[in-house]
Amino acid sequence: MIQRAPARRLPAATDSACPLSGLRGTLDNPGVAHIRFVPLAVALVIAWCGVVRAADPVTAFVGGRVIPVGRAEIPAGTVVIRGGTIVAVGPADSTPVPPDAQRIDTTGLVVMPGLVDTHSHVGGGQGGDASGPVQPDVRILDSINVRDAGFRKCRAGGLTTLNIMPGSGHLASGQTVYVKLRRVDTIDELLYRDADGRPLGGLKMANGTNSQKEPPFPGTRGKSAALVRQKFVKALAYRDKLAQAAEDPDKRPDRDLELEALVDVLEKRKIVHHHCHRADDIMTVLRLRDEFGFDVVLHHVSEAWKVAGALAKSGAACSVIVLDSPGGKIEAAEFSLVNGAALEAAGVPCALHTDDPVTDSRLFLRTAALAVRAGMSRDKAIESLTLAGARMLGLGDRIGSLDVGKDADLIVLSGDPLSVKTRVLQTFVEGRQVFDRDDPEDRLFAVGGFGASRDQKAEPCCIGPALGGLK
């Protein structure tokens, strides 16, 4: 019934150098949960694992078809990871496996980077409320339920990085957040952060029909653009005042969280993730981008096929949705499956996304396969699930491909990534296993069934996979 590797060759966890890592399963069991509250035991565990972790466990995935992304596939390859980092990728017969490595036989299987979803709504997060159409101060990270079962389903689908966005019912619905799907207790431990420790994310904006409603929301497209322009004009003035205050602190304007967020956008510290479907809405986003000079990723772009040439000239990147049918709302009425192929042909950077719950994160690979069905090349389609999305999040130097020095986010598949028969067998984030299809609990989220959408219990905080999240 289930397509599987002929034998189970993969370990339950990669951090086997920690002799207590095997306890993770035990500690999940409520029957012995009290162990967590024995401070001495916890301290010992932390100390012991911490020491061992310093030695950085090494794991080698040997013999499988390796899809590194961005360069040629390796029919029989080896991927070596040390701690949370990739340290070697190459043909199995010429890539040495370190003697201290735990060796995982991936013969007959496929190893590729963890998937990057540039547009997700997993975690029940919310953005702005009904008070107005422009709320760039609102952060989705303040509302995400990290125990939402959706995160488990994402890992089951091979996703390792998400851009979690507020909705499209506002012109600016709030700040998005880039998360790494570690198994942890709080949203703070999921975040990608910049060098200064600030959470990474963009600003969600939208035009078209979703954000049109009763005042104070706009009633037309022209009004939508005017409201956005007015706010950006204010942000420009605010930025000028901040610049003047650098010379004279007395001139410093009062802090304004909305305008601060927009200044982040104007200064290109935050990218705009812009919902747009219709060709004219796409062009309106580009017009505003050119006027105010922000960076933008165009999301959904149902009618990209109509303006692929203009998109190519603009240099903008597109994150494309793939749907089973057009419509459901007027602006998606002329959706086409050829968008991926049309953008590829025009030379436009193209990622794919789930828009979960619009499409199911567990079927993200399918999205690429349907793009191929409609004419996209296989290589570009796979890149659209990984490296292209990573680049659009500004994380292209860290994730999205199997390259030395990048994070050890990878998935092991039972076969070709574009086949309906293929299963995600295991998902690793920073070298740690976060999904194992052989684990009955994980399988529930992969396949569905009773309880598969219920919020999940907390992860044990101090053992195994969570350890990396401790500061």
Partner 1 sequence: MSLDRWRACRSPLAARMAAVVIALAAPAVAVAEVLVVRGDVVHTMAGPRITDGVVVIEDGTITAVGPAATTPLPANAKRLRGAVVTPGLVDAHSVVGLAGHLNQPQDQDQLDTAEAIQPELRALDAYNPQERLIEWLRGFGVTTMHTGHAPGALVSGQTMVVKLAGTTVEEAVLVPMAMVAVTLGDAARREGGDADAKSPGTRSKAVAMLRAELVKAQEYRRKRALADASKHPDVDLGLETMAGVLGGTVPLLVTADRAHDIASALRVAEEFGVRVVLDSAAEGYLLADRIKAAGVPVIVHPTMRRAGGGGETENLSFENAATLRAAGIPIALQSGYESYVPKTRVVLFEAGLASVHGLTFEQALAAVTIDAATIIGVADRVGSLAVGKDGDVAIYDGDPFEYTTHCTGVVIDGVVMSEEAR
Q: Is 326 in the site for partner 1 (CB under 8 A)?
A: yes
- What CA–CA distances, in Å, run from 311 to 195, 275, 286, 294, 344? 32, 15, 9, 16, 11
Q: Which of residues 171-230 bind partner 1 (CB under 8 A)?
A: none
Nearer to partner 1, 1 or 246 (CB): 1
Among 22, 25, 124, 169, binds partner 1 (CB under 8 A): 124
Nearer to partner 1, 219 or 315 (CB): 219
Q: Is 323 in the site for partner 1 (CB under 8 A)?
A: yes
CB of 455 to partner 1, least distance (A): 8
Nearer to partner 1, 80 or 332 (CB): 332
- What CA–CA distances, in Å, run from 410 to 66, 84, 413? 11, 11, 10
Among 31, 246, 250, 421, binds partner 1 (CB under 8 A): 421
Phi, psi of 300 (to 5 degrees): 80, -65
Binding mask 371-400 for partner 1 (x = CB under 8 A): -xx---------------------------
Phi, psi of 115 (to 5 degrees): -80, 145
Q: What's CA 403's distance to the chain center, in Å?
A: 18
Contact in structure between 159 and 364 (CB atoms under 8 Å) = yes
Among 38, 55, 330, 458, binds partner 1 (CB under 8 A): 330
Binding mask 138-167 for partner 1 (x = CB under 8 A): ----------xxx-----------------
CB of 123 to partner 1, least distance (A): 10
Q: Where are the alpha helices (DSSP H) in 321-392?
A: 339-346, 364-373, 378-385, 387-392
d(CA 362, CA 446): 7
CA angle 161, 375, 388 (to 5 degrees): 25
CB of 372 to partner 1, least distance (A): 5
d(CA 199, CA 178): 8
| Tokens matching residue 359 | 């499409």
CB of 435 to partner 1, least distance (A): 16
Binding mask 447-466 for partner 1 (x = CB under 8 A): xxxxxxxxx-----------
Nearer to partner 1, 222 or 357 (CB): 357
- What CA–CA distances, in Å, run from 151 to 22, 164, 182, 293, 442? 23, 11, 9, 35, 11
Among 419, 438, 439, 461, binds partner 1 (CB under 8 A): 419
Contact in structure between 181 and 190 (CB atoms under 8 Å) = yes
Nearer to partner 1, 204 or 270 (CB): 204
* Residues that contact partner 1, how many (by CB under 8 A): 38
CB of 321 to partner 1, least distance (A): 8
Nearer to partner 1, 21 or 367 (CB): 367
Contact in structure between 125 and 147 (CB atoms under 8 Å) = no
- Judged by DSSP in three states, 305 sits in helix
Q: Is 332 in the site for partner 1 (CB under 8 A)?
A: yes
Positions in the binding site for partner 1 (CB under 8 A): 1, 3, 124, 148-150, 323-330, 332-333, 357-358, 360, 363, 366, 369-370, 372-373, 418-421, 447-455
